[in-house]
Amino acid sequence: MDKLDMEVLSGKLDAELIKKDFPVLSNSANNAPLVYLDSGASAQMPQSVIDRINHYHQYEHANIHRGVYELSEQATISYESVRSTVARFLNVTDTAEVIFTKGTTHAINLVAHAFGRTFIRAGDEIVISHMEHHSNIVPWQQLCEEVGATLKIIPISDVGELDLEEYRRLLSDRTKIIAVTHVSNVLGTINPIKEMVALAHAKDIPVLVDGAQGAPHMKVDLQDLDCDFYIFSGHKVCGPTGIGILYGKRDWLERMNPYEGGGDMILSVTFEKTTYAEIPSKFEAGTPPIASAIGLGEAIKYLESIGLENIENHEKVLTQYATEALSDISGLTVYGTAPQKAGVISFGVQGVHPHDMATLLSDDGVAVRAGHHCAQPVMQRYKVPATTRASFYLYNTLDDIDKLVDSVRSAKKIFS
């Protein structure tokens, strides 16, 4: 398929126009226009989000909850209204099921701690997959060591899909939770979450979904997916850092012990006994990152104004175009070729170390990531020390991909 056809396919979303909403993207890098292909690590913020955060700092800041003066009441309203925005974004009805966290890592640790210490005992099993980010491995490993539980791993195929037959076999009456990523941050694979949740629920096992690479790139309907926990980060959905979301089903959240103790998460405190607040406050100890939460709300509104379906479609076009163009380069291997794939391409070029590749691309203004992408087991699975990864978002254009491909070709030439 040629470039013109691709542009037609991507028709509902004008990435050139969208790019203008993002001030960082009009900057240059190494005297070349910045080609930002690292949104999988962190997305850029549009002007509207930057303005909203500034406005909060300039005119609206006060600590939330319990302030009886107008400024604090307004800050509380702004902060709490983001809960409704997130609930709409994820298609859930009960806003108390939306908990603000510091990010995806914090949220997974929260569940591993609060759910784990409430429900998981020696001899129990926790099922994760071979394609998890370290943040969905290490907290569970720590839990296993502490309580004497065992970690079970769903294997992945050569193209980068989960082995669902093996997944079925791993589910037993010892399995207490499944923690799996929605989309692999290295391979791009979109996992069949709905099917996996149904299989788990048939055995009364709850499922946590790491949505860090899912929520930014597609419409997430939690009533449809039916998972028990869904987690994502603000800075990967065009919001600021320091804020993330944990969605949890009310029934689980109410039965879980708190993770952190402190202000805002209590009903009453005496030296003899503390009673905890209801959800969501029970899991939000201390002053939260108020400005970041408000920025996240604005970011979600921005994405919704473009349309998540349009973003998903646009990234499919970019991914297909990039995969075809990169695959034309001899000696280049793409890791992760699942049919259901998001806008992430990890690759290696024979004779060029991924770090040298990333440095040479940077000389041309092309920003990609190189390394193990906090997913060392994936590197071990494909027997590579590292990969170079390009990841796409709504503001990337087919021209960006052309520049990536040209730059990869010249890097290869330098080492030939």
Partner 1 sequence: MYQEVILDHCKKPRNWGQVQNATHKAEGINPLCGDRICVSMNVVDEKIEDIQYEGESCAICMASGSMMTAKVKGKACTEAIDLTEQFRVLTTEAENKEEPAGFGSLAVFSGIRDLPSRVKCALLPWHTLIAAINSQSEISTEGDKDPVPGSGTQK
What's the min distance (Å) between Cβ of 233 and partner 1?
11
- Residues 357 and 411: beta-carbon distance below 8 Å: yes
Nearer to partner 1 by C-beta: 276 or 382? 382
DSSP 232-299: EEGGGTTS-SS-EEEEE-HHHHHHSPPSS-STTSEEEE-SS-EEEPPTTGGG--S---HHHHHHHHHH
Total interface residues for partner 1 by CB under 8 A: 20
229-233 and 207-210: which strand pairing?
A: parallel
- Choose the stretch contacting partner 1; rule: CB under 8 A; options: 8-16, 192-200, 274-282, 348-356: 348-356
Torsion angle (degrees, nearest 10) of CA 36, 37, 41, 46 = 40
Tokens found for residue 255: 């039965």
Per the DSSP assignment, residues forming a β-bridge with 127 are: 152, 178
In the stretch 23-62, what mask flags binding to partner 1 with x, by CB under 8 A?
A: ------------------xx--------------------
Q: Does 360 bind partner 1 (CB under 8 A)?
A: yes
Nearer to partner 1 by C-beta: 285 or 408? 408
* Residue type (1 letter), 296: L
Catalytically annotated residues: 374
Residues 6+ apart with CB under 8 A from 399: none
Q: Does 371 bind partner 1 (CB under 8 A)?
A: yes
What's the min distance (Å) between Cβ of 387 and partner 1?
10
What's the min distance (Å) between Cβ of 40 and partner 1?
9
Q: Does 379 bind partner 1 (CB under 8 A)?
A: yes
Question: Which of 55, 219, 353, 409 is the binder for partner 1 (CB under 8 A)?
Answer: 353
Q: Does 356 bind partner 1 (CB under 8 A)?
A: yes
CA dist., res. 177 & res. 171, Å (int) = 9
Q: Does 331 bind partner 1 (CB under 8 A)?
A: no
Where on the chain is the footprint of partner 1 (CB under 8 A)? Answer: 41-42, 353-356, 359-360, 369-374, 379, 384-386, 414-415
